Every structure is written in structure tokens, then in C-alpha cells.
Chains A and B, each alone.
Chain A
Amino acid sequence: MKLDLKQHIKEMISAPGLSGYEAPIREIIRAAWQPLADEIRVNNLGSLQAIKRGEGTQPRPSVMIAAHMDAIGLMVTGIDDGFLRFMQVGGVDPRILPGQMVTVHATNSDVARDLPAMVVMPPAALLPKDGKSGPLPQKYLLVDTGLLPDEVKKLVRVGDVISFATEPMELCSDTISGHTLDNRASVAAVTVALEMLSKRKHLWDVMAVATSQEEVGAIGAQADAFAIKPDFAIVIDVTFAKAPGGAGIGNFEMGKVTPLTWGSCNHPALHKAMLETAEEYEINVAKDLAPTGSGTDAWSVQVAEAGIPVVELGIPLRYMHTPVEVVSLKDVRRAGRLMAEFIANLPLDFMKTVIWE
């Protein structure tokens, strides 16, 4: 069965799965990965681990591919006359919140319900001094479900999570826009890699992991790395594309290049090996400079257990952590292909080459 990448991504970014509450997205990824893996399991903190065994002789080395599946969003902190107060889960610029369509995952009644709602700005007259002008601090914003106050009290409880509800949109040149493309786009790249590997011979065991709780401190990946104890890890996450309003150091054109992270989080020998694979297969890559670390799962995987060598690659993305992130499907496919070629070409004694100068 050929993977419909666009549909796969649309389905994933339409599914809820905030940090710590990944169950809905986990089941969607499980359905996609199950046919491509020998074994699937869920770790203690909710990450999904798909094991695809290699053909090498035992003891077989293993590589972990980590792509976080959790989403940023909001959480209910209080109920005030039918309106919900909230705080953020993960990093959200409060300036993007007013007028956003959201879904409240309400759990106070016996049957959990998804309530369509929106983030609203109360009029200045109803706010203290620092709410009179300028961007509204998040503490003053409310969520309106359109329901009557009694109904809201019945359905919603403090601690319920709130997802962004922006619908996926297809933009020009094979790009797609929506919320949570950070990092479901990378999960899709892992699916691409697994699909390619299912038709290829590879010696190494591959542990593909859709990690939990990256957005609140790379917590899931740390537990996965501890449990799996891979010989090395590939971390894939989105990075900053060239975009109106501001881009990162790399200023990567969308649809053109796969950034490879270069900084303290990656093992230089692994970085070099992946560059060589890219060259061999004519895959366009560029250095994504992360002077102090990339703020991804790589940060915690690297220091798990007795230390795990990490190589990191990215998918350029516009407007990170807004509900209108944009990625190019070309970049997703290319990143998947690079990972697959890299893994398929790993010799059993590859780790002998992963050494410090």
C-alpha cells in the first residue's frame, strides 16, 4: 500500500495530542506504523516505539529514530461565568491567541466531549491596568465555548486540555498549513523512512519512536532512550524556514533542502556520516547551526543513560508554534529518504567509526 503522505499529515495534524495527553495521536501513528514494524509498544510515559528488526547477526546494533508527536496547546485553569481561563502547554506567544479556534476536550461528565470554542479578548473595561492596551497577557484571555454557564460547569473541569482547531489547508507548491506540523511533519518523515526500509535490506535494528512531552522539556525521549539503549539516535524535528517576519540562522528555503543540525547536541562523526550519505544519494542538505543546542529531543537523548551519540536533522517550517505553520511535502519526503538511505547503509561495525577526534 502506497503511503498518501498528504493525507497522512492532514490526519495527524487534525488529531489532538497535547504533551502528556498523546493517546489520540498515538493511535493514529500506531495504525500507520503497525504494518511497517515487527513489534509496537508504548512506553511508561506514552511514547510509541515501533521496532523493525534488521538482518544482521546477533548481537545486533540498534538505532533509535525520535520524532516527537506531542502538540502545544492550552489547559483549563478556571471557569468564570461560563468562560474558561487557561494556561499554556508548551511555548505559545500569547499574541497569536486572540481569535483562535480551539477544541476543549471536556472530561467532567461521564462521557468525554470535544467542544468547539475560541480564544477571546475581554474588553479593556473589564481588565486591570496592564490589560488596557498592547498585547493582552495570557492570564486575561478567555475561551468561549458558546455554551451556557451551567452546561460549561457540568462538562468542563480544571485541567482539561484545549487543542488548536485550525483546519489543514493546502497552499502553493505542495505545501501544507495547519497547527502541530511541529512535529507531526517529522513523524510523517519517519513513516516515509519506515516504508522505504520495509522494501530494503538493513542490518541494524530500527527503533522508531514517536516521543511524548517534547514541548514541555523533552521528557518522553529521555525515558525512551533509557529503555531502548540504542547505539546511537537520530532525532528529527522541525527547524526555522525562511519566512516573512523572521527566520532562524539557517534561513532555509522551503522545499529545497534538508537541514542537518550542527552544534553541541550532535556527535560530529555521525553528522559527517550523514553528510556523506546525502552526498552519495544527491540529497540536498545544509548545516543548521545550533550554537548552544537545538532545544529538541536531542538535548535529553544525548545525556540519557551513559550518554548516546545523536545526529539531528530537520524539516524547514514557517511560523513555528502558531496554528498556521507551513511545511513542504518535498522536505518531508527528502528527510525520510535521507534517514532510510543512511540506515540501510549502516554496516554492523559502524559504531567503530563514531569516535571523537
Chain B
Amino acid sequence: MAKTEVSTKFNPRLGKKELDLLTRLCNAVSVSGDEQEVRAIVLEELRDFADFTKVDAMGNVLVRREGTGKDRVRVMIAAHMDEVGFMIVKDEGDGVFEFRVIGGVDPRQLVGKPVIIGRDHVPGVIGAKAIHLTTPEERKQVLKVDQLRIDVGPGGDSKVKVGDRATFATKLAVLGPSIRSKALDDRLGVFNLIQLVKQAPENVDLLAAFTVQEELGLRGAKTAAYGFDPEIGIAMDSTPANDLPHYDGLPNTSHNTRLGDGPAIYIMDRGTIGDQRLIKWLTESAEAEKIPWQFRQPGMGGTDAGEIHKTRAGVPSVSVSVPQRYLHSAAGLIRIEDELNTLKLIHTALKRLDRSILNRQEKSNGKEK
């Protein structure tokens, strides 16, 4: 099996090849429950880099990349392949379809958007009544999902069927120092995990879990973690950057994260209290390599870590996310430097990983202080 040499210097960049991969990942239709398109890309990309590959019963892609060092820690890193989107639920004839939302999408984000449907990416639109025909009263009401339709044009297309998944049709674009795309949550994680498998440090056994159904409640991660039975768990995901200005110029105290401030390390979210030893390991790694980083404000939301840490007899787990504005809408926005720094941080931390960090807490608990 051909393994690429591990360079001592890990300096990730987003060159044409990398951008092309990220673009393919983001533009794919891979809604929770039908992650085939992204799964195919992952399998194809990692064919020559894995020591073991398996698609499990849920549809997770489980990839093991073994190191060569002694006493290697088994680290599971999870990134979810699914995204929020839609399912066609009713064919009303003449190209008009009723649909439902899969995952948490604010209905205010739906109106007036182009979409793509199914494996063939059939184009359609979510229209809205012309402003000329609405009353001021109507315009005060949010248009709900069951009032909206996906329209593929009069006559319809035989390729679109009830049960098909659909997503916004937005294509990835580079905006100066930023990237604008749908599904950055969590194709960035998938992209990063692919890069990590390709260039995994030799001191660890990397257990890469490309999970499914995260948006429906971390369902893929549950079986993936059980299957891998890791010693340490890391979820690589995307987290909101609510770093917009307050309308009246007041301080923004609930930004969650800020774009440009580096990878966001979780202390606590709805599903996980991050393992303090791992948090320290990550922040120390960042400081050692002068990688900018930030704490995500403790709050709601969650990642695959919520299931991983509760697996079997328990797995110390932590989450690291790329800060992203406007998740779960037609497009999110990230800073390229945050993305690269996230990849760099995880790689650096893995290289520094030594089983002893898991003992550190016991020491500090009694004797040292």
C-alpha cells in the first residue's frame, strides 16, 4: 500500500488542487440520510492512503491510518459528511413539488432561492408571490415551509421524484480572504480530515470517521465511535461566528466566535463538556506553534463529540471548529486563514500527542499544588 512520506514541516495551503477538492465537496448534494455523493469523494480521495477502510451499517466511512511509532494513541477524529437540506415530499404535478426541511434551517432563508435536486442536481427554484400581489399584512408574516414549493419548470422533469433530497444551489466562491459556500458545515471538517489522513503524524493511529446524520442528532458518530473504540475523540466541525455589529452600536457579547481569530476550541456546548486535559493540550499546542486560536463561547449547539465521549466506557473528547458566519443558510462564510490554522492546529497537536497527557489531570488534582 502506497503511503506518502510524512514531511516534518506541515504547512497547509489552499492551492488549486485543494480548492478543487473543497469545491467538489461543498457543491455536492449530501443531505442527512443520503450522503452518497460526499462518501464517494472521500473513498476515492483516500483509496491510496488508508490501512483500513470500511463503510459501516449507518453509512459512515471509517478509515484507519496506522502510525509507526511505539505506544501509539488511538485518536478518533470525526467530521460529518451530511448537510442540512430538503426532501421532496409531494409531486403536485406540472413541475411543482412540496418539500420539507432536513436539519435546522430558518424558514426565512428559503424564499427566492435556486436549489438543486437529487443525484442529477436537477435545477429548481423556491419562488415567492410577487411583491405586487402581497399586502403589507402578508409581508409581516414569515413564509412557512408548507406554503413554499420547489418549481422545476412547467411540465416537470422525470428525474425528480418524491423522496429525493435537495440543497441550495449556491456554488463555492472565494471572496478575497474568505470563502462563501453552502455546506461548509461540515465539508471543511471532511476536507481537513482527508488532509490529515493523507499526512498523518506517525506517532498516532488516526481513526478517521466521516460520519453521517450529524444534523439529525449525531447519529452516525454514535456507531462510528463504538466501532473504532478510540482512546481520544476529536470532532472537527463548524461553529457560528455571530461577530456582526450591534444595530445600536452596543458591544456584541454573544459573538460565539469571531472570524479571523483562529480555530475555535470548545469548552462546553449542549452535548459535551470538553475534556480539560485535551483542551489544555490543544491550547498549549497552538501557543507552541504560534497558531492563533480562540475559545468558542460556552453555549448551545453541539458536535459529534456529544456521542463520542459517551461511547462504551467513555472517551475523553474535545471539539475544534472553523468559525463560520451564516451556517444553515444558502451560504456560509469563513476566513481561509481560520481554516488553514485549524488544520495546522490539529496536525501539530497530534504530533505532540503523548499518552501521558491523559494522566496529567490526576497529578494536578492532588500532589502538585
Task: Flag if A172 contacts B152 (CB, 8 Å).
Answer: yes
Contacts of A92 in B (CB 8 A): 131
Task: Flag if B127 contacts A243 (CB, 8 Å).
Answer: yes
Query: In which size bucket is the chain B interface?
Result: 35 or more
| A134 CA to B140 CA, complexed, in Å | 7
Given A136-B108, A146-B177, A146-B180, A324 and B113 contact (CB-CB distance below 8 Å): yes
The verdict on B157 contacting chain A, using a C-beta distance below 8 Å, is yes
Task: Flag if B244 contacts A171 (CB, 8 Å).
Answer: no
Q: Closest chain A residue to B126 by CB distance?
A: A324
| A117 CA to B48 CA, complexed, in Å | 38
Q: Mark A240-251, 1 if CB is under 8 A from B, else 0.
A: 100111111000
The minimal Cβ–Cβ distance linking A309 to chain B, given in whole angstroms, is 25
Given A80-B245, A167-B114, A245 and B128 contact (CB-CB distance below 8 Å): yes
Q: Which of A94-102, A259-267, A298-306 is the contact stretch?
A: A94-102
The minimal Cβ–Cβ distance linking A151 to chain B, given in whole angstroms, is 7
Question: Binding site of B, secondary structure by majority: helix, strand, loop or mixed?
Answer: loop
| A167 CA to B330 CA, complexed, in Å | 14
Q: Which of B17-25, B71-79, B142-150, B197-205 is the contact stretch?
A: B142-150
The verdict on A320 contacting chain B, using a C-beta distance below 8 Å, is yes
The minimal Cβ–Cβ distance linking A252 to chain B, given in whole angstroms, is 11
Task: Flag if A126 contacts B246 (CB, 8 Å).
Answer: yes
Q: Closest chain A residue to B336 by CB distance?
A: A146
The minimal Cβ–Cβ distance linking B27 to chain A, given in whole angstroms, is 13
Interface residues of A (CB under 8 A from B): 80-81, 83, 91-101, 115-118, 120-123, 125-128, 131, 134-136, 140, 142, 144-148, 151, 166-167, 169-173, 175, 177, 240, 243-248, 253-255, 295, 318-324, 326, 328
The verdict on B331 contacting chain A, using a C-beta distance below 8 Å, is yes
| A121 CA to B106 CA, complexed, in Å | 11
Among candidates B108, B154, B253, B333, residue contacting A121 with C-beta atoms closer than 8 Å: B108
| A169 CA to B330 CA, complexed, in Å | 16
Contacts of B140 in A (CB 8 A): 134-135
Contacts of A243 in B (CB 8 A): 127, 129, 151
The minimal Cβ–Cβ distance linking A298 to chain B, given in whole angstroms, is 15
Q: Closest chain A residue to B331 by CB distance?
A: A118
The verdict on B130 contacting chain A, using a C-beta distance below 8 Å, is yes
Contacts of B329 in A (CB 8 A): 98-99, 120
Q: Closest chain A residue to B330 by CB distance?
A: A99
| A125 CA to B254 CA, complexed, in Å | 7
Given A172-B155, A246-B129, A324-B114, A95 and B139 contact (CB-CB distance below 8 Å): yes
Q: Closest chain B residue to A136 by CB distance?
A: B108
The minimal Cβ–Cβ distance linking A324 to chain B, given in whole angstroms, is 4
